[in-house]
Chain A
Amino acid sequence: DAGVIQSPRHEVTEMGQEVTLRCKPISGHNSLFWYRQTMMRGLELLIYFNNNVPIDDSGMPEDRFSAKMPNASFSTLKIQPSEPRDSAVYFCASTFGGDTEAFFGQGTRLTVV
């Protein structure tokens, strides 16, 4: 398996534009997480899915953020409209069970100018 695949690796966009980040989890994993990493706030859990169902989205900062998981092999995180303070590295991770290792993608570095 190629691991967790995120795209794009880098995204530069203008304030107000819509941004969509994509994630393909490891096949067979039943939980998927979206994290945001910044110098100021560290690694924040935004939302996590179990069996494609959003279980906890309490970390989603505001209504501009939305996430979907239409099937077991694909998830998106959308920001609309984007703002400069959304600039961060966004990680996707997947796992099979709470006591097992979470595998992380390489991250998407988002810059909003």
Chain B
Amino acid sequence: AQSVTQLGSHVSVSEGALVLLRCNYSSSVPPYLFWYVQYPNQGLQLLLKYTTGATLVKGINGFEAEFKKSETSFHLTKPSAHMSDAAEYFCAVTPQNYNKLIFGAGTRLAVHP
């Protein structure tokens, strides 16, 4: 069965610091991988996704993530945090042959001055 583990339910960084949000997945076959962001009282919106091809993917708002098959990881990074990045971030997977989107528990990112 597919599953997603996000390490750290809360992450706090200073403005301008590196953002690193961790995601590991469990899957018998390489899945499609996604990062979504949720701002307060909003639905989720896609930051970036990995399906095939280049393992380093770039998304909106300066975020990027790298698919590492050997580590079953898909960590999200941003070189320099902005105050506007404060939100909850969800990693998600879906099997390539099955259209079921499974989310991790989420990581709440706080950015302080």
Contacts and interface: CB of A to CB of B under 8 A. Distances in A.
A33 B43 CA distance: 13
Interface string A64-107: 00000000000000000000000000010101011101101111
20 contacts: A42-B105, A43-B90, A43-B103, A43-B105, A45-B101, A45-B103, A48-B99, A48-B101, A55-B100, A56-B100, A93-B101, A95-B99, A95-B101, A98-B99, A99-B32, A99-B51, A101-B34, A101-B46, A102-B34, A104-B45
Contacts of A33: 101
Interface of B is mostly: loop
Given A31-B99, A107-B42, 6 more contacts: A42-B106, A98-B96, A99-B32, A99-B49, A102-B34, A107-B43
B48 to A, nearest CB: 10
Which size class do B's interface residues fall under? Answer: 20 to 34
B94 to A, nearest CB: 5
B29 to A, nearest CB: 12
A105 B43 contact: yes
Given A43-B106, A98-B95, A48 B90 contact: no
Contacts of A97: 99
Interface in B20-47: 32, 34, 42-46
Nearest to A35: B103
Contacts of B101: 33, 45, 48, 93, 95, 98, 102
A111 interface: no
